[in-house]
Amino acid sequence: MRRIVSLLAALTCATTLGTGLSTAAAAAPARSWVVEAQRTLNHLGCDSGRPDGRVDRQVRAAAVRFQAASGTPQSGHLTSDTRRRLRADDAPRCDRRPVPAGSGRGRRVVVSQAQNWLWLVGPRGRTLAQGGMIDNTRELRPGSYTTGSYCGRAARIARNSDYSGRLWLDDFVRFAPCGIGFHRIPRYKSTGRQIHADWLLGTDLAASHGCLRLSAVMAGKVWRFTARRTVVRVL
């Protein structure tokens, strides 16, 4: 009797193990195409994080940046069309994009709300720097602006404070009335930590209160570029 029970237990264990292997085998292809997409996104400068086969918020943000660079709907999903474009020989990079047509001429800052992207353009039309940003289209409207003082407020504040008094807005450069400007992603005064990660820049997965949030590096470049009055074109 004990021998029969042992045999039944062994058969049960083998069946369970077989089912587990089958499930794992079925899941492997799904994970593998995600890993492939993550690696390709990283290769194209889209910053999808560690290729682990999980479609988390950072992967979605990377997909949005790639879709924006491709000029396709920014769903944040790794659709079949997005994967096909990722595999194409002419797949665009996320971190290097052409300045949009119709953005004017001469030395200027160009902002694309459709792409959540920003360019610093030199006097001869050469792109000096570019990067992702976060804004709020309900507050900032397309148009032509100029950096400077508005509503009696300072044009440039190296370490500005938000209305709540809890956050630092580093390298603040005002360019629209009354409180809209460029600045680094806000940092908590209590800890110095940013309120969100850099990988959200270049997407609409977050929204500012009206200003343009930038990485620490890009905010520093904008600060230096706008040391004198500068045209800002918002598209």
For the stretch 222-231, pLDDT in tens is 999 999 999 9
Average pLDDT of the chain to the nearest whole number: 89
Rounded distance between C-alpha atoms, residue 110 and residue 46, angstroms: 20
pLDDT of residue 30: 54
pLDDT tops 70 at residue 5: no
Mean pLDDT of 94-113: 97
Does residue 105 surpass a pLDDT of 70?
yes
Mean predicted confidence (pLDDT) in 162-177:
97
Q: What ranges do the domains of the chain cover?
A: 2-87, 108-234
What is the average pLDDT across 145-165? 97
Average pLDDT over residues 88-112: 97
Measure the CA–CA gap between 119 and 99, rounded to whole angstroms: 7
Q: Contact, 232 vs 184, CB < 8 A?
A: no
Q: Is the pLDDT of residue 136 over 50?
A: yes
Dist. CA 50–CA 134, nearest whole Å:
23
pTM attached to this predicted model: 0.85
Q: Would you say residue 70 has pLDDT above 90?
A: yes
For the chain, what is the radius of gyration of the CA atoms?
24
Q: 108-234 in CATH: which number?
A: 2.40.440.10
